[in-house]
Chain A
């Protein structure tokens, strides 16, 4: 059974960088059949897919156009985890952030409420 454990700060000031990590157990971030996503949920915007990383013969990333200019998703195979960085946050980035596995999102992290406020 795949489990995802998220960590990272929950309160940020505007212009700071959001950094979250998702540690994987029961699977490998380097799996050639999986993909590793970051998704956020807010009352105003619902669910918003932010991006993903996956390994085939090399690492690849895909990002949502809405955040493409300020998002970085990385994988660390030595720690079996992947991470999200979102630069220059604003109050509009306030949301619950989730990591999730797959295309059908069959495993989810517990969620992290990130609040951006001065």
Chain B
């Protein structure tokens, strides 16, 4: 079966750095997405990786290793507004999105 694993919850301190990991086992691979979802709201797009390596976008970076079936989202200079769930999603060989359950990130002052 297809599976996306990410930690259920993480806690970090304002101003610090946090890394949210995502491992996947899917039938084929056509890209990996990270979305941010604040409580009670719809997800918003953060990043897309299709090739191995690091994609940097401001305070957020996303890394992909296709051989390891692994990605991480790195958040720097954490702000209170970064408290949200972070969803990892993989596009499989049929171009269907397989979603992880999300990682709830709690930021403490």
Pair from one complex: no
Where the two chains meet, the residues of B that have a C-beta atom closer than 8 Å to any C-beta of A are none
